[in-house]
């Protein structure tokens, strides 16, 4: 029998009882430290060249909050939720997100004329991977592939090889 707190030392006389807790709780979580960094590049999946002007969005990590309203201002609607951070890539497709806290993040990239890309995606609409950051961790070479939309171009000609106008 295992002694537990209470009358008689045992609960119901059952062997294998649970010892009483001595006021022990879980330790408080470590404070969030904004010291992590993600640096990467958005690339054309076919050519591997950097894509300028792509919008990279960072989702995940700890909950982002907005500044509370000033007290004493009646009839003001609540502030909208904070939007995820976004950044525009430079001429070589590079981007950086600084002062991040530990956590799991999802990175996506969009640009007109391309299918959306995401970290870990190897084909259009394929699976993605999270970027896992620890306190003070630096991810220096994150690549996000985006995929050009395909197109077909040509000229419709008649039997004599002359272009046909207004045909479908």
pLDDT at 68: 52
How is the chain classified by DSSP, letter by letter?
----SSTTSSSTT-TTPPPPP-S--PPPPPPP---EEEEEEEEETTT--B-TT-EEEEEESSPP-PPPPPTT-TTPPPPPPPPPPEEE--TTSEEEEEEEPSEEEEEEEE-TTEE-EEBT--STT----PEEE-TT-EEEEEEEEEEEPP------B-TTSPBPSS--
CB-CB contact of 82 with 41 (8 Å): no
Query: What's the CA gap between 44 and 57, in Å, rounded?
Result: 17
Question: In a structure prediction context, what are the per-residue pLDDT tens digits for the chain, which is 168 residues long?
Answer: 544 444 444 444 444 445 555 556 788 877 888 889 999 999 999 999 999 999 999 999 876 544 455 555 566 677 777 789 999 999 999 999 999 999 999 999 999 999 999 999 999 999 999 999 999 999 999 999 999 998 888 889 999 999 999 888
Closest CA to 54 of 126, 120, 108, 123: 108
pLDDT at 4: 45
pLDDT at 12: 43
CB-CB contact of 93 with 50 (8 Å): yes
CB-CB contact of 145 with 43 (8 Å): yes
């Amino acid at each position: 029998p295992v002694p537990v707190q209470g009358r008689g030392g045992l609960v119901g006389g059952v062997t294998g009882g649970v010892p009483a807790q001595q006021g022990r709780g879980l330790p408080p979580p470590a404070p969030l430290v904004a010291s992590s960094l993600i640096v990467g590049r958005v690339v054309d999946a076919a050519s591997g060249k950097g894509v300028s002007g792509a919008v990279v969005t960072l989702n995940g990590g700890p909950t982002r909050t907005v500044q509370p309203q000033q007290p004493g201002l009646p009839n003001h609607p609540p502030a909208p939720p904070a939007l995820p951070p976004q950044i525009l890539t430079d001429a070589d497709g590079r981007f950086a997100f600084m002062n991040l806290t530990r956590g799991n993040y999802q990175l996506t990239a969009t640009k007109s004329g391309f299918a959306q890309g995401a970290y870990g995606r190897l084909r259009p609409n394929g699976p993605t991977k999270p970027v896992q950051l620890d306190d003070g961790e630096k991810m220096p070479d994150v690549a996000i592939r985006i995929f050009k939309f395909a197109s077909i171009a040509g000229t419709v000609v008649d039997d004599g090889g002359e272009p046909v106008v207004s045909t479908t």
